[in-house]
Structure 1
């Protein structure tokens, strides 16, 4: 044997290889270790399936969209449903308009529409929480974007990814600014990943009895959740405060158009003429006078009737 390539022992005392073999084994060992590290981190840090993932756009109300006869105004919630349906279709997303099925027809925005099994009857504005929770439970979409019926996507040229790309498994729910009212976030529009189901349940479980049937309904519960609550009252790195579980797009407005890339326009209840604020957007779609055309378009919109109280019972049973 040449002394140029002395024997050496690697891995086992009975295995002798030359220096060349030792180097080859060293390279192989390095590759195996590297692959192991990559595999370890791939399990520790999940990928972000928001990118290119299926999306469902959701609207919900106790009032179903409909097109009345000539001489009657088309309800604003019909117009917003049609606009948001067109946006979803343009971007390859699913769309669903949920109509709540209360025990008694509501007569005002404070009428009871759904019931929390422990905390009592609640107005329609609350019912979005079990509604979105149920969409996450029953549909395959990785992401959901929820809009109140007084909110619209401003333009089909601004993609959902403008908001969805901010989400992570650790911050699975996002909001935009509540300005000009305050520096918080607005409950009338939010976007989520599947991991947000537990956040939605915690929001729904907030105890604010004076707001069950009075303004600001679920908005006050959200403010309370973000200001004071930690999961199970046991804060840790693995169990962060709810305020640390959200994405807040603080620079993005929704109540006034301030940026050509602004995704959402939310029409406040103080606005006397909702039509004026959405007409520019609507005129790009079709004429309000074409009632047959509106009905044909509305026939394409998936409308689902939901007993939100029954869903709330399932939420209560969820561990």
Structure 2
């Protein structure tokens, strides 16, 4: 069993703010009222069937918002967005700096992309849907130096990438073994950071290096468990971080994640790079310069189930039960969207 270490709220907030790319991070602006910053993008589906993304921002200031879930191939996808798209005005990047300027054609500061590769971790490291939907509008106002109410002209096209939960969980465990903790993530929900009682840490010290799989599995506060479901759900509907392990809470969180996923303009699957690329191009009417690569030689893939105990395998399934249900749902929804895309393309082909 892991030893649990409680860190004071002021420590968490302080280290978080220091870790953000923008030193001028404005917590008051971040904690804006939900009803003021969650317009129509969260209540309807944005797909290529009913909405056309406009990178020029002629009528609406359309913005692609990338929710980057850990260990889903999101870093690679994010690099595709900033550097691999055929654009009239490519993102301007500087050597050694992760974030690029991805402004619209004809504008110097209006952003068409909101991700760590364009605006840094502006809403916190690996911010989830709950954080992003409350943070993105005000952060864009800040970056673009726009006047009040201008955000009403924006439309937000949420995108993400999902991964088969067993491999994703193992990949996160290995990443933590190598020194990653994402300790500086905010986990902002309902305008507050979780208290130390709501969200303790699973380890002592600054890192959880060399943690065993059994120890990783045994911590009830490990956010690696059901991470995809939690990061796509509206956590304000389940009391934020106060009862994530409760059975009823998990069920509500899963339904919320499914609902939000349906409303995402686009999501891809790490295991299906070809269709992920094609679906993105069809949805946003943007083309990539180079095709996506399907990589199966991941670190997690090298861990064979035969090398794990029966208890470890069952433990991974048990603590990620909602993620497995969400992934099954996402895979079916993905197939539907791909099938619809191919049907539309077939109709447009010359006879």
TM-score by length of 1: 0.27
TM-score by length of 2: 0.25
Q: Which has the higher strand share?
A: 1
Q: Choose between structure 1 and 2: higher helix proportion.
A: 2
The structure with the larger Rg is 1
